[in-house]
Structure 1
């Protein structure tokens, strides 16, 4: 009787969701470190950016747009308001409708944060060597 041949398997090709998850984590970790220089989180920066259009946004809309649970968004906006970077305004016709707005201080802060984010983005793009194929780009990002 002969011994069975060894079952040697190669690792399966990563699925798109795996590549996206790894790329997201790598990018977020780097951006988080860059924004920490200004004592800011990625989600706080995202809220400030969403409010930069000057229109004011209802909290529910903001939560949906940013894919942040409403309770978490409320805590984020509370913290940003405590620092004077955003403010809330009640609706004129419906006092229950609350919109969040970027303050002048918030706009100044966002300018600094965007500069840090842009520097991080440029660094990542350089590390990816100008790849344009989405599969190659995700593999490179996942490996950073």
Structure 2
């Protein structure tokens, strides 16, 4: 194997490692900021989805927050008990249950959004003028590695915006 082929593979491996490192670091910072507000990253993602889209069935929520049904069900049960979300029958399909954000959930979300905005702002500041280009590259990567219509990877998922 020519030396350039080995170096190219090493560069790809290093790029993937760096991407994972950045994701873990950013996720850790988001989790810490949200924990100080009494939330988790998954709770924030659920409320943000419901506030943006209205009521959603559990499978849509699970796909969006990348959780398996049993874990999501327990989390939603805790969120219902805390009056952050409500379960409602779907008016179009009475067999289906939708999860909707409650008034208390919207108030909590406003606080949690501020914590997330702080982390996002520091990240965008770090990237400076490259922030938009970085997000474009991430979206291109997402679109290239996931088949069209992959649950949880909708175009509306803002990384930095």
* Structure-1-length-normalised TM-score: 0.76
Partner deviation per Cα, 1:83-138 (whole Å, 9 max, x = no partner): 1010101234654411100000000100000011001111122233433554xx99
Partner deviation per Cα, 1:4-24 (whole Å, 9 max, x = no partner): xxxxxx9x3253432321111
Which runs of 5 or more structure 1 residues have no equivalent in the other structure? 1-9, 139-144
* Structure-2-length-normalised TM-score: 0.69
3-state SS in 1 of match to 2:129: coil
Separation in structure 1 between the aligned mates of residue 74 and residue 60 of structure 2, nearest angstrom? 15
3-state SS in 1 of match to 2:52: coil
Which runs of 5 or more structure 2 residues have no equivalent in the other structure? 1-6, 139-161
3-state SS in 2 of match to 1:131: helix
1:13 matches 2:27: no
1:114 matches 2:100: no
Q: Tell me which residue corresponds to 1:142.
A: none
CA contact (8 A) 1:48 1:106 kept: yes
1:62 matches 2:80: no
Q: Tell me which residue corresponds to 1:77.
A: 76
Alpha-carbon spacing, 1:92–1:128, altered in 2? closer, same or farther (3 Å): closer
Higher relative contact order, chain-length normalized (CA < 8 Å, sep 6+): 1
Out of 12-21 and 114-123, give the one that drifted further. Answer: 12-21
Aligned residues: 128
Separation in structure 2 between the aligned mates of residue 43 and residue 101 of structure 1, nearest angstrom? 15
RMSD: 2.5
When you count helix as a share of all residues, which structure comes out higher? 2
Alpha-carbon spacing, 1:26–1:130, altered in 2? closer, same or farther (3 Å): farther
Q: Tell me which residue corresponds to 1:27.
A: 26
Q: Which has the larger radius of gyration?
A: 1
